[in-house]
């Protein structure tokens, strides 16, 4: 089984695409617009595709309501993880791009350096060095 996509339902697809471009140097690989509204966008990563869909698309796809991410609420118990050799640099760049700090970079007992941030809509992101270090 291969993880192909991670899709997060958000308030502002365009804003999230711009944030992830600026904060993590990801490139937009696909956008879907309907009636002048950006409903869906995908980011290129070196792994699974990272997608952002509007809440309108979420209602259409799921047919039920769901809990929305918000900086005013506790983060969900799930995260997006970006692996990098420079956690400190990635952390600082993300914060300058509008991310909110959850935990500054810290070396864990098993050898990884790990930091946690939240994106501009409250999504939880882990930045970490590769496990094989």
pLDDT tens digits, one per residue of 23-52? 999 999 999 999 999 999 999 999 899 999
Q: Which domains does the chain have, with CATH numbers?
A: 5-62 (3.10.180.10), 80-128 (3.10.180.10)
pLDDT band, very low/low/confident/very high, at 54 (cuts 50, 70, 90) = very high
Question: Long-range contacts made by residues 52-61, C-beta under 8 angstroms, separation at least 24?
Answer: 52/7, 52/8, 52/9, 52/10, 52/13, 52/16, 52/17, 53/7, 53/8, 53/9, 53/10, 53/13, 54/9, 54/10, 54/11, 54/13, 55/9, 55/10, 55/11, 57/9, 58/9
pLDDT digits 0-9 by tens, 78-119: 999 999 999 999 999 999 999 999 999 999 999 999 999 999
The pTM assigned to this predicted structure is: 0.93
pLDDT band, very low/low/confident/very high, at 10 (cuts 50, 70, 90) = very high
């Amino acid at each position: 089984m291969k993880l192909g996509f991670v899709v997060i339902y958000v308030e502002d697809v365009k804003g999230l695409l711009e944030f992830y471009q600026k904060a993590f140097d990801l490139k937009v690989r696909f956008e879907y617009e309907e009636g002048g509204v950006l409903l869906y966008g995908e980011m290129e990563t070196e792994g699974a595709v990272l997608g952002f869909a509007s809440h309108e698309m979420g209602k259409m796809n799921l047919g039920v309501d769901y809990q929305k991410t918000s900086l005013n609420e506790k983060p969900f118990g799930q995260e997006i993880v970006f692996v990098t050799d420079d956690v400190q640099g990635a952390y600082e760049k993300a914060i300058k791009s509008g991310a909110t700090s959850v935990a500054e970079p810290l070396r864990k007992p098993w050898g990884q350096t790990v930091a946690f941030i939240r994106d501009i809509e409250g999504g939880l992101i882990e930045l970490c060095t590769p496990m094989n270090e």
